[in-house]
Structure 1
């Protein structure tokens, strides 16, 4: 189900990072950024390293600066994956933190955000989080979705999004050229399925020379890595600006 690539380059978690704050929302601790008065909201669903990753929170602040109310929930209840824990490899950790449970939690988050007055909600998922966002997209719970270096997303998932009655939420897929979790060949299959369903707005983009996780697990001292990540961030923001309104 999962290979080691999704666990490479783990971030140094920092619960104090970001310009926002942590509050409970939908039963989960969540990092929130931006004005709760905004009626446009974006939910960011993390990779296995969780919601305290500094680059993810930095991205949340960037999205908030564009006028969105941004929520980054702690789907793992203070138990993110720890690569150094040899007694609990990724497959064992996933038994406690499956994407099915993540989806159930995400539904509550969406309802809580609606309760704060949001009339349009988008969601972006990173690695593990992409599968959670796909499940939200299948039900029409969100206005638009973005999947960044997705894991666990299948051809059947994309077919369901295209064929489920009434679900036409736009979907952007931003992938890496060097990715064993979602290799370019798989993303091209996604693109073919989406292209055949003209009523679903879709974008599939494969970024050259980058690896799985590049949008949130980059070295801030590496100028080229930062540039590649920021290009993906800009693409994601443009997508939400176009469809979450």
Structure 2
């Protein structure tokens, strides 16, 4: 059975995972690259959350690459910077200042859109067998992908999981198949608006909620040693793989 036929992620390693990919520069950004470049005809740009490069995120990229027979890229948009968990768990004047400075930069989403476009354009030159590109965003990255899915988009399909700064006006501008996997940490009213806009007769979108999961369950904050988180992490990545297999 080919990967295209199954579209199911390989078994997940809960502890001690060793990423399978390599690092190169693409579009001026250090980028994690995973997947079989010799055979891949599909590509995905995986945009991480505010906690940056994390083993859980890289395992997700590896698993999508295997399930879809695709090349998956994880660019380091923050260029080595990232949010630190201690800023949220141990508030102090120093930590609050660092958090505010980082978040001010990260939440100005527009400057990251040309950087994403630069990665895709560089990837098109680097991986010439690949005929279509998708984009998946985690939390912060979901907003970047939503803003990059409108008229003139470089992507064939996009998605966002436990999306940050979810806004119905972004959904109104999306012109391609788009999947949203929400957690219990997003505003249910906005998730419902997304569902109204993206789903329905003649619309290819999917909006689903994982009601027992916290904001971040598929990204850097995933606790794969927790049985419920592991189960829903796997379910989420399999749902993304199935949707991308259909539209990419």
State the TM-score bracket (shorter-chain normalisation).
0.7 to 0.9
Q: Which of these residues, 82, 86, 91, is aligned with residue 80 of structure 1?
A: 82
The residue that corresponds to 2:162 in the other structure is: 149
The answer (yes or no) to whether the contact 1:147–1:172 under 8 Å persists in 2 is yes
Mapping 1:129-168, distance limit 5 Å = 129-138=141-150, 139-161=152-174, 167=175
The residue that corresponds to 2:26 in the other structure is: 25
Which one has more relative contact order, counting CA pairs under 8 Å at least 6 apart?
2
The residue that corresponds to 1:11 in the other structure is: none
TM-fit CA distance, 1:45: 0.2
Query: Unaligned regions of 5+ residues in structure 2, if any?
Result: 1-15, 88-94
Q: What is the alpha-carbon distance in structure 1 between the residues aligned to residue 178 and residue 22 of structure 2?
A: 28
Q: What is the alpha-carbon distance in structure 1 between the residues aligned to residue 172 and residue 37 of structure 2?
A: 35
The residue that corresponds to 2:52 in the other structure is: 50
TM-score by length of 2: 0.83
Query: Unaligned regions of 5+ residues in structure 1, if any?
Result: 1-13, 162-166
The answer (yes or no) to whether the contact 1:20–1:31 under 8 Å persists in 2 is yes
TM-fit CA distance, 1:89: 4.6
Matched, 1:203 2:206: yes
The residue that corresponds to 2:139 in the other structure is: 127
TM-score by length of 1: 0.84
Q: Secondary structure at the match of 1:84?
A: helix
CA RMSD between the two structures: 1.8
The residue that corresponds to 2:110 in the other structure is: 100
The answer (yes or no) to whether the contact 1:41–1:69 under 8 Å persists in 2 is yes
The residue that corresponds to 1:220 in the other structure is: 224
